[in-house]
Amino acid sequence: MYKILIADDHPLFREAIHSVISDGFPGSEVMETADLDGALALTVDHDDLDLILLDLNMPGMHGLGGLINLRNSAPTVPVVIVSAEQDKQVVLQAITYGAVGFITKSSPRSQMTDAIEQILNGNVYLPPDIIRTQKANTRRSHSEHPPFAPELLQALTRKQLLVLQRMSKGESNKQIAYNLDIAETTVKAHVSAILRKLNVHNRVQAILSAGDIDFTAYLRR
């Protein structure tokens, strides 16, 4: 089904995440390595990888430098950070440097499965508590993630505003589709249009800049 690489120097965690993948995504091929050099070598040998689950603190990583090296080596393979690190700035920097998601090692098994599914479906994943905290920080300071100009938001259709509103709550495309009673493919089309109209590069940027939007005012028109 999928071809996934787990790069982590803790055997027990590799075993645990391997189990999550085996149960949640039956038939997937899972490879393991304990350091960055091994991860880099495997990306060369296997250019058809669907996902890399990368520990920030294993040998050779040097923090986010290892992520940058891996992204340069395999730019087409999605990389998600799986780490005990929960500092909000580290999480956001990882996304800035090219990770498509950040899963904390303390996440419940079901949340980890859902996160991996979202990423495999082409979404960016951040833990809901980090989204909430960062949005609160954004309300205090707009220097890093300025709010959207009203004319940009007015360019969105009503349905796109509803999708953005649910995105800002950390909902996945599947959850948005269920809550708005539309097809998931329709949600994906709306998300693409939203990012284009708001001139942002990814879902995370849209979410973080949407913290102060009074959706009621825009939906009332």
With a cut of 70, say whether residue 217 has pLDDT above it. yes
Q: Which CATH superfamily is domain 141-219 in?
A: Response regulator (3.40.50.2300)
Q: How many CB atoms lie within 10 A of CB 214?
A: 9
Order of strands across the sheet that contains 79-83: 29-33, 3-7, 51-54, 79-83, 101-104
Of 60-64, 115-119, 121-125, where does mean pLDDT reach its minimum? 121-125
**Strands 3-7 and 79-83: what pairing?**
unpaired
Mean pLDDT of the chain: 86
CATH topology agreement for domains 3-126 and 141-219: yes
Percent of the chain with pLDDT over 90: 52
Average pLDDT over residues 164-172: 82
pLDDT bracket for residue 211 (50, 70, 90): low
In terms of pTM, does the model score above 0.85? no
* pLDDT 10s digits, 174-188: 788 989 999 989 998
Q: Where are the domains of the chain?
A: 3-126, 141-219
Confidence of residue 11 (pLDDT cuts 50, 70, 90): very high
- Report the topology of domain 3-126: Rossmann fold (3.40.50)
